[in-house]
Amino acid sequence: MKTSGGSDAAKRRAGESAAEAATDGDVVGLGTGSTAAHAIRRLGDRVDAGLDVRGVPTSFASRELAAEEGIPRLDLSEAVGPDGPGIDIAIDGADQVATGGEAGDAPVSGGVLIKGGGAAHAREKLVDAAADRFLVVVDPSKESPRLDRSLPIEVLPAGRTAVAVAVREAGGEPTLRRADRKDGPVVTDNGNLVLDCAFGEITDPAALSTTLSATPGVVEHGLFVGLADEVHVGTASGVRVDEV
C-alpha cells in the first residue's frame, strides 16, 4: 500500500535535489510515486532549458508524466540492450529506508529499502539495479532505524496461494492487496497480483530477500538490498544527502 505522511514541500525538495544530478547525455531511470514525480517535473524543466537527457520510465504513470514534461523516453530494453547506452542514474522513492543500527543479532545497513506501495517495484528494481547510480528520494517520515512496514510481493496469479504458504513459513502474514476504486484485487502493470506481507521487524533483509527471490511464483519483492548509492531526504528547510 502507498504510504502517507511527509509534507509535499519536503518531497519536492528531495526530488528536485536528485534531479540536479543529471547531466547532458545522461539516461535517467524515472521512478514511480509522489516524490519521484517531483524529480520528473524538475527534469522536465531542465529539458525545457536545454538539458539533453532521456528517461527510462518504471511504470505507466511515470511514462505519462515524462511525456507531459517533454522528456524523451527509452524502453528498458533499448537502454540496456547490446547496443544501448545504459542507465547513468535512476531516481526513485521508497516506502521505508533503514537508516542503520542493530536489529536483533543482525546489522541493518543504512539505505536498505522497502518499495512497492505503488505496485511498480518489479520494473523499478530492474531499472534501479541497471543504473550506474541509484538515488533514493524521500521525506523524513520514510526513515526508520529498521525496516518494519508491510512488504509488497508481486506474484503470478496462479501462484498466489503457494506464495502465501511460503510467506507464512518465512514468518510473514500475507494479505492480497485490494483495489480502492473497483471490486477485486490490484493488478500490476505486468498483469500480476500483490501480496502485502507483514513480517514485523525485518532483522536480516538480505536473507529474507534471498528466500523470497527463490520462491516459485514470486515475480519480485519490495526489498531493495545493496542497490542505493545516495538517499536525498527533503526536510523543512532543505535537503540532506546521505551516501550509502
Active-site residue set: 124
Contacts of 183 (CB under 8 A, 6+ apart): none
Q: Which three cell numbers stand for residue 217?
A: 511464483
Q: How far is Cα 144 from Cα 97, in angstroms, rounded to an integer?
A: 6
Q: How far is Cα 29 from Cα 129, in angstroms, rounded to an integer?
A: 10
* Exposure on the CB side of residue 206, measured as CA atoms within 13 A: 9
Q: How far is Cα 60 from Cα 47, in angstroms, rounded to an integer?
A: 21
Cα 83 to Cα 23, 29, 127, 218, 231: the distances in Å are 21, 18, 17, 30, 30
Rounding to the nearest 10 degrees, give the CA dihedral for residues 78, 82, 87, 88.
-140
Instruction: Compute CA 152 distance to the chain's CA centroid, rounded to the nearest angstrom.
Output: 11
Per DSSP, 142 falls in state G
Q: How far is Cα 25 from Cα 85, in angstroms, rounded to an integer?
A: 10
Phi/psi of residue 170, each to 5°?
-85, 0
Q: How far is Cα 244 from Cα 239, in angstroms, rounded to an integer?
A: 16
